[in-house]
Structure 1
Amino acid sequence: MSPHDRTLSRRALGGAALAGAATAALGEGTAHAAAERPFRAARSLGRGARRPNILFVLGDDLGWADLSSYGSPHIRTPHLDRLARQGVRFTDAYSGSATCSPTRFSLYTGRYPGRTKGGLAEPIADRSVGLDPTHPTLASLLRGAGYATALIGKWHCGYLPDYSPTRSGWDEFFGNFGGALEYYSKLGLGGEYDLYEGDAEYRDLRYYTRILTERAVEYVGRDHDRPWLLNLNFTTPHWPWIADGDTATSAEVVRRIKAGDGGALWHQDGGSLATYKKMVEDLDRSVGRVLDALRRSGQEDDTLVVFASDNGGERFSYTWPLSGNKASLLEGGIRVPTVLRWPARIEGGQVSHEPVFSPDWTATLLELGGARPHPAHPLDGHSLAGYLLRGAELPERDLFWRVRGERALRRGPWKYYRGKSGRDQLFDLSADQREQADRAPFEQARLAGLRAAWERVDATLLPYPAA
């Protein structure tokens, strides 16, 4: 990156152009943004030397602006907004891919999804592939460093009998294996029952978000004798569009599943903005309950909490001012709301405009937990620990994405993108976060450089199998 690019990047990202555009017309969002200050590591903090507990919470298909602190005009998320006020809100945080499975691969391995066969499925839809149990993961590496590990909620990295969280480093698992399920019956995409404790079916026909919340509250409230990692993966607000208490819609979806309707869970003929609002606000309350349990347990100060989404929003989500949504490498498909809180080490009320993505969190959490990456499986993410704790500048680097039929690379404020049209495009996100002003005709040298950088990374990845 040239000095000019670095200056442009810092000015654009530090100036909160994107955050301001998203919240300017919203009273609550504006108040939140006005109370924030640009991120700066607090060298005076550092209460306690223990390694942190780690609570990593994923929403499912949550859009970049679906939280009121990110600009939603109609959804209210007071608990997640409070988490942001107590920590750092990231405006330019990205998922590792544009759909569920590849992003989870990137978070669990710290590597591009295309490094592994299972990561090529976008997303996993059958039993033929999954996360290889021999591959080191965030959980296995932290467990090796003395952490207790648990995953509660959506796995979506392979099915039994070959793939499971308990085979990939998590001591405990309670949740679903597939990409979606009906919230009451727990029927998955193939009509199978999909709620498990460990590798055994667990029967509970209550609303799924409530069940996961109860499990997470119990876990964080235990009398732990060592630091812990909890991956809490909600399915909310992923389709089908069923809010807590909507048993009539649930019954209709279940009827269609049992009648052999393979598209019933997709719910293309259902849902509404009102239902979506209920689901996101329920997610917010659920996270609030878990955070309350953490506070009551006395572990709040020493627990690092990250909240994010696995990819961009779906049909009813709000992503303004971004373009695109889930499955696309336009900003709306990969930029996600992301909040970090660690009271013992990081001051609250801050906002960061640094571009970061899922594999960075893997590298960061491993460093903070005292675990080393496996030398045979080098990470593609960069640890943010120096930036967050010591005020170090992030190094010059590219953020890379690849999905079948699309490619993208971000360097500073510049983004190279090729969609399914096959046309190379170039966007200056500091001035055009909506990706409408293609600068490719005027920046041919820059475009060529970013395209070459993308192709160098791509050459190191596994090829997609023939369609």
Structure 2
Amino acid sequence: MSPHTPALSRRALGGAAVAAVAVAGVGAMALDAQAASPRETPFRANAGRRSRRPNILFILGDDLGWADLSSYGAPHIKTPNLDRLARQGVRFTDAYSGSATCSPTRFSLYTGRYPGRTKGGLAEPIADRSDGLDPNHPTLASLLRGAGYSTALIGKWHCGYLPDYSPTRSGWDEFFGNFGGALEYYSKLGLSGEYDLYEGDAEYKDLRYYTRILTERASEYVSRDHGDKPWLLNLNFTTPHWPWIADGDEEESAEVVRRIKAGDRRALFHNDGGSVEKYTEMVQDLDRSVGEVLKALKESGQEQDTLVFFASDNGGERFSFNWPLSGNKASLQEGGIRVPTIVRWPARIDGGQVSHEPVFTPDWTATLLEIGGARADKTYPLDGTSLAGYLLRGEELAERALFWRVRGERAVRRGDWKYYRGKGGTDQLFNLAADRREQADRAPDEPKLLAELKAVWEKTDAELLPYPA
């Protein structure tokens, strides 16, 4: 946004104020992720660089909170590999998921469209076999494959079940992972007690800790000789999603499995398990795993020409560190949709930078299609805006409205302003540059702006499929 210079300085001032509080002794606020750290500078594209089409390594954590990385402010979680990735690329402070839960965000990534444009995207999240991503709908993978990419998805799919839905029916050449929204990390049992680890469309038996298996598979994929073809790898970890079982917790795993087999349909939710310490262990394991994959990528000689993207699929769960945001997963408050997001492409993007641009999941679909030389299908127009001009050519990103809808909640962000209606039914307005915690409702002071943003939301909502009764 060209009115960016003042916006950035406002945020910088806000960061300085938070830092001052930290000095006063509030350790949780010791790092304000809205302000550039001493090693980061405000983002500026290096328009003089040129390169071939990149490989794309798109990594998702699962239910990882906005401030769960040490580079985003976590005082008790150490994530050196992801922090290094951020130092080598761009760390986004105002990046959002496409929805507040798992499968709708994945729909928005794979289609580049609002989840409510497709029947399967209305499930929040998919919990049975009746919904899924229509194999006839173009996807990030199918469009890039049509442009010459090899494609693979390793990890969590959560966009429908066999026999009707599968990554291999939606544009990915290879699939290794789980179909459902959650699984027990050792046994691979899902919510209904079914075994849920597949290679392609066939069951694959491996009872080791799931994060280790995915890390091995991804490391092997990025190490391959792909010839002259660029590749897309969607690497979807389930870490740190419940159940709260870390590598080595075999006794806890056995107890959860016993309950699943006894018919306890809520055993995987693990409501009586977990802790901040266990969650920390899982996040740090995710960081180590990402580090292993990045090491394999570097050793393969492809690091310079690979665009690496890391984010979470939605906001954090009950053990996440989300300060100073309010809300968490399933909510359209900031804590439910603002997510840590890092982009690195050494051949084209300078490192050590921070961007405060508001962006969300469908933008990355449009961006990767443009960078990969693929075109969207005009029958299924994208809802995201390509960021390629901003990232690579120094173009200003025009102000636009980011839209979200979940059952019982609505939200729009435009510039620094956010319109929000929660389940209580009250329309609220927040200035996020001054109030990321969404505590100072400005609706009474800005009735015209409130009405404007509400109208934006309602116009977009009218274009989407209605929720089933």
TM-score, normalised with respect to structure 2: 0.96
Task: Tell me, yes or no, if structure 1 residue 45 matches structure 2 residue 43.
Answer: no
Aligned partner of 2:233 in structure 1 is: 230
Structure 2 residue runs without a partner (length 5+):
none
CA distance in 2, matches of 1:18, 1:454: 30
CA distance in 1, matches of 2:16, 2:196: 39
Query: Contact 2:29–2:73 at 8 Å: present in 1 too?
Result: no
2:156 corresponds, among 154, 157, 168, to: 154
C-alpha distance after superposition, 1:153-190 (max 9, x if no partner): 00000000000000000000000000000000000000
Residues 147 and 21 of structure 1, relative CA distance in 2, 3 Å threshold = farther
SS of 2:419's equivalent in the other structure is strand
CA distance in 2, matches of 1:30, 1:446: 28
Aligned residues: CA RMSD? 1.8
Aligned partner of 1:259 in structure 2 is: 262
CA distance in 2, matches of 1:29, 1:447: 32
Residues 129 and 450 of structure 1, relative CA distance in 2, 3 Å threshold = same
Residues 19 and 358 of structure 1, relative CA distance in 2, 3 Å threshold = farther
Letter of the structure 1 residue corresponding to residue 397 of structure 2: L
Task: Tell me, yes or no, if structure 1 residue 12 matches structure 2 residue 47.
Answer: no
Q: What aligned pairs does 1:169-318 form with structure 2 within 5 A after superposition? A: 169-225=171-227, 226-318=229-321
2:107 corresponds, among 84, 92, 105, to: 105
Task: Tell me, yes or no, if structure 1 residue 383 matches structure 2 residue 380.
Answer: no
Query: Contact 2:219–2:293 at 8 Å: present in 1 too?
Result: yes
1:393 corresponds, among 392, 396, 402, to: 396
Query: Contact 1:410–1:416 at 8 Å: present in 2 too?
Result: yes
Aligned partner of 2:460 in structure 1 is: 457
Residues 19 and 194 of structure 1, relative CA distance in 2, 3 Å threshold = farther
Displacement, 1:35?
Answer: 1.0
Letter of the structure 2 residue corresponding to residue 389 of structure 1: L
Letter of the structure 1 residue corresponding to residue 37 of structure 2: A
CA distance in 2, matches of 1:96, 1:29: 26
CA distance in 2, matches of 1:77, 1:6: 30
Displacement, 1:34?
Answer: 1.5
1:96 corresponds, among 51, 74, 98, to: 98
Displacement, 1:334?
Answer: 0.1
Aligned partner of 2:88 in structure 1 is: 86
CA distance in 2, matches of 1:356, 1:112: 14
C-alpha distance after superposition, 1:353-399 (max 9, x if no partner): 00000000000000000000000000000000000011101112100
Q: What aligned pairs does 1:305-344 form with structure 2 within 5 A after superposition? A: 305-344=308-347
Structure 1 residue runs without a partner (length 5+):
none
CA distance in 2, matches of 1:12, 1:216: 41
Aligned partner of 2:169 in structure 1 is: 167
CA distance in 2, matches of 1:184, 1:50: 40
Displacement, 1:42?
Answer: 1.2
Letter of the structure 1 residue corresponding to residue 102 of structure 2: C
Query: Contact 1:118–1:131 at 8 Å: present in 2 too?
Result: yes
Residues 20 and 271 of structure 1, relative CA distance in 2, 3 Å threshold = farther
C-alpha distance after superposition, 1:249-298 (max 9, x if no partner): 00000000000000000000000111101100000000000000000000
Residues 19 and 162 of structure 1, relative CA distance in 2, 3 Å threshold = farther
Displacement, 1:78?
Answer: 0.1
Query: Contact 1:39–1:352 at 8 Å: present in 2 too?
Result: yes
4+ runs deviating over 3 angstroms: 5-13, 16-32
Query: Contact 1:12–1:413 at 8 Å: present in 2 too?
Result: no
Identity of aligned residues (%): 79
Displacement, 1:7?
Answer: 6.3
Displacement, 1:33?
Answer: 1.4
Task: Tell me, yes or no, if structure 1 residue 70 matches structure 2 residue 68.
Answer: no
CA distance in 2, matches of 1:173, 1:28: 41
Displacement, 1:8?
Answer: 5.3
Query: Contact 2:279–2:319 at 8 Å: present in 1 too?
Result: yes
Aligned partner of 1:430 in structure 2 is: 433
1:36 corresponds, among 26, 35, 40, to: 40
CA distance in 1, matches of 2:29, 2:444: 39
CA distance in 2, matches of 1:451, 1:30: 30
Residues 327 and 20 of structure 1, relative CA distance in 2, 3 Å threshold = farther
CA distance in 2, matches of 1:124, 1:9: 38
Query: Contact 2:28–2:323 at 8 Å: present in 1 too?
Result: no
CA distance in 1, matches of 2:463, 2:243: 37
CA distance in 2, matches of 1:21, 1:186: 43
CA distance in 1, matches of 2:468, 2:315: 25
Displacement, 1:28?
Answer: 8.5
Q: Number of residue pairs matched?
A: 461
Letter of the structure 1 residue corresponding to residue 112 of structure 2: G
C-alpha distance after superposition, 1:101-142 (max 9, x if no partner): 000000000000000000000000000010000000000000
SS of 1:339's equivalent in the other structure is strand
